[in-house]
Amino acid sequence: MKNKEQHFYDGAKNWDFSDIKRTDESLTDWDMAAIINKLARKDFRILDLGTGGGEKVLKNFPDVAEILGTDFSEAMIATAKENLKKSGRKNISFRVMDNLKMNTPDEYYDMVVARHTCIDPAQIYKTLKPGGALVVRGVDQMDCFELKRFFGRGQAFDDKKPISHVDYEAILDAGFKDVELVPIHTREYYHTPEDLFALLNRVPILEDFSETDPAEDFLHREIELETFEKYVAEHTTPKGVLLIRRYYGITARKP
């Protein structure tokens, strides 16, 4: 799945979502940024996996001793470094790294954050200090399910086991304690159909990525306009075009 995602993101070449207008309604009291800021101390070293263009790190992460953001896409890291220059923030760096082949020091970080990305909990456990925290936010199988049903495809659409359960069990198996899994439900209202269409061209919601049964081949498929227009017609509300998101949050501690 990682190779498919890299193909997709390197081809998209646009990770600026500031032009996409939407209103969010969270139905779950689980805020990743709030959790990170509550747990962090001034002397913390934080590793952010799947950092993308670095926007979340630069905007939401606390002022601590050191933050490293990593991503497997060279283009994304190039974007993150440009965003870092504009931000003026210090003690933050970005570099290319494969989450499944981590080359960070053993027992070095006080916190590892992973957002919408593949993880290997055993490698994360190794790089965390004793007592260190892991905070994960991921996209679950039922995310955008109504939209996927219209198109008959999408990320994890045919998976037999939700990725939230896969991650939860792998984190337990790696030796973490105090592991908590929380389903996260959000309603997103896109102000215009064009806003939603722009999103779907920048993230792999409608791509045939399997989290638990990855295939070798990847063929990017264009979004069928007729199907998209039918979805918009049936899901337009006074607040905008509705997209129901289903994520999951996991917190854990290395003993």
Percent of the chain at pLDDT exceeding 70: 89
Q: What is the CA radius of gyration of the chain?
A: 18
How far apart (Å, rounded) are the C-alpha atoms in residues 238 and 134?
39
What is the separation of C-alpha 96 from the centre of its chain, rounded to a whole number of angstroms?
Answer: 16
How far apart (Å, rounded) are the C-alpha atoms in residues 16 and 217?
28
Mean pLDDT across the chain, nearest whole number? 90
How many distinct structural domains can be found in the chain? 1
pLDDT of residue 61: 97
CA distances from 186 to 68, 121, 248, 249 (A): 28, 26, 11, 13
User: Nearest CA to 117 among 210, 36, 5?
Assistant: 5
**pLDDT of 15 strictly over 60:** no
Q: What mean pLDDT comes out for the span 90-100?
A: 96
In 3-state terms, what secondary structure has residue 126?
A: helix
User: Nearest CA to 211 among 173, 167, 251, 175?
Assistant: 167
Least confident of 98-102, 116-120, 158-162: 158-162
Q: Which residues contact 141 (CB under 8 A, 6 or more apart)?
A: 156, 157, 159, 162, 163, 164, 211, 246
User: Which residue range(s) make up the domain with 66?
Assistant: 2-253
What is the separation of C-alpha 92 from the centre of its chain, rounded to a whole number of angstroms?
Answer: 19
Global pTM exceeds 0.75: yes
Token representation of residue 134: 């892991």
CA distances from 253 to 38, 138, 163 (A): 14, 18, 20
Q: Which pLDDT tens digit goes with each residue over 122-154?
A: 999 999 999 999 999 999 989 999 999 999 999
Token representation of residue 249: 């949050």
Q: Which pLDDT tens digit goes with each residue over 37-58?
A: 999 999 999 999 999 999 999 9
Q: What CATH code is carried by the domain that includes residue 67?
A: 3.40.50.150
